[in-house]
Structure 1
Amino acid sequence: MNQCVFVLVAAFFLIGVSGQGPVNQKCLGCICEAISGCNATQICAGDVCGPFRITWPYWSDGGKPTLNGEAKDSPTAYKNCATDIYCSALAVQGYMEKFQKDCNGDAKIDCDDYAAIHTLGGYGCQGNLPHIYNERYQQCKKLVS
């Protein structure tokens, strides 16, 4: 675990991402840290892009946010958004708004649920998280709480 998550949380706070959906800054930071180490340098690999490692369908379900007024149907809109930390965080917020639910059965919807939804999908979040993802997420959660 590095300082990246703390920088990311501060950046989200400064640009107001948390006010744009159900996921708070700390949670966004931990999801990003768990999924990619918040690696913004690895643009795309296969069908996933950006620091949140989102797919085109995820971006679409998240409301297709775009950068600088780019048209949602532009051939570059998904990649440009997914590889931008702010825009991809907005996609995560939109996705969570659409699919938010209590995945772990504890009668509340919180970051644990959002972390599961992010990696397992909106319809399969009751499953087990991948080991490395869960380990990084839990470590981050301890550090930021």
Structure 2
Amino acid sequence: MKLRLCLVFSAIIISAGVTGLFVSNLNDACIRCICQGTTGCNMTYGCSKGYCGPFYISRLYWIDADKPVLSQDDPEREGAYQDCTFEYNCAKLIVERYMAKYGRDCNGDLVTTCEDYALIHFNGGNRCSTPLTGSGYYTRFTECRQAQSPGIV
């Protein structure tokens, strides 16, 4: 019986690694609104001041997310970080992995929601309790979130 449970548990872990991450309350609608808040989800956004792509991702953020890259790419290749941030699905994977690592309740409501992920994305994983009200990012994020409701928690 113990062996059977161990095998089932191992299969679940392996399949989770193959199919992707699950981060509570982080869904496609939330990620789109984070992108919208960041650059208006401008897919032509290059790099500026050390931040790249529509999610405005820094190299350190990418490293914290374990350096995801495009299919068949090498994370050690010069330009792999930038290329991933420019492509929506690869950049989305960076955000998902970062949130899997740093996701937590940042606004004190005792639930980890899309608002917390927006705070983490903007402020960084260790400084997420800093409020965003009044920033262009937060205005765009909130407008997107309200337009997406009830798809976002």
Q: Please, what TM-score do these two structures have when normalized by structure 2?
A: 0.80
User: Aligned partners of 1:63 and 1:75: how far apart in 2?
Assistant: 16
Match of 2:41 among 26, 38, 43: 38
Matches within 5 A, 1:83-94: 83-94=86-97
Q: Determine the structure 2 residue equivalent to 1:141.
A: 145
Structure 2, unmatched stretches of 5+, are 1-18
Code of the residue aligned with 2:74 in structure 1: it is A
1:26 matched to 2:29? The reply is yes
Code of the residue aligned with 2:66 in structure 1: it is G
Q: Determine the structure 2 residue equivalent to 1:120.
A: 123
Code of the residue aligned with 1:132 in structure 2: it is G
Q: CA deviation at 1:45?
A: 1.2
1:131 matched to 2:132? The reply is no
User: Aligned partners of 1:21 and 1:92: how far apart in 2?
Assistant: 12
Q: Determine the structure 2 residue equivalent to 1:63.
A: 66
Percent identity between the two aligned chains: 39
Task: Tell me the secondary structure at the aligned position of residue 20 of structure 1.
Answer: coil
Query: Which segments of structure 1 move beyond 4 Å, counting only runs of 4 or more?
Result: none
Q: CA deviation at 1:21?
A: 3.7
Q: Determine the structure 2 residue equivalent to 1:82.
A: 85
Q: Determine the structure 1 residue equivalent to 2:103.
A: 100
Structure 1 stretch 23-32 or stretch 130-139: which is displaced more? Answer: 130-139
Q: CA deviation at 1:19?
A: 5.1
Match of 1:73 among 76, 80, 89: 76
46 and 21 in structure 1: CA distance in 2 versus 1, 3 angstrom threshold = farther
Task: Tell me the secondary structure at the aligned position of residue 98 of structure 1.
Answer: helix
Structure 1, unmatched stretches of 5+, are 1-17
Q: Please, what TM-score do these two structures have when normalized by structure 1?
A: 0.84
> For the pair shown, which has the larger CA radius of gyration, 1 or 2?
2
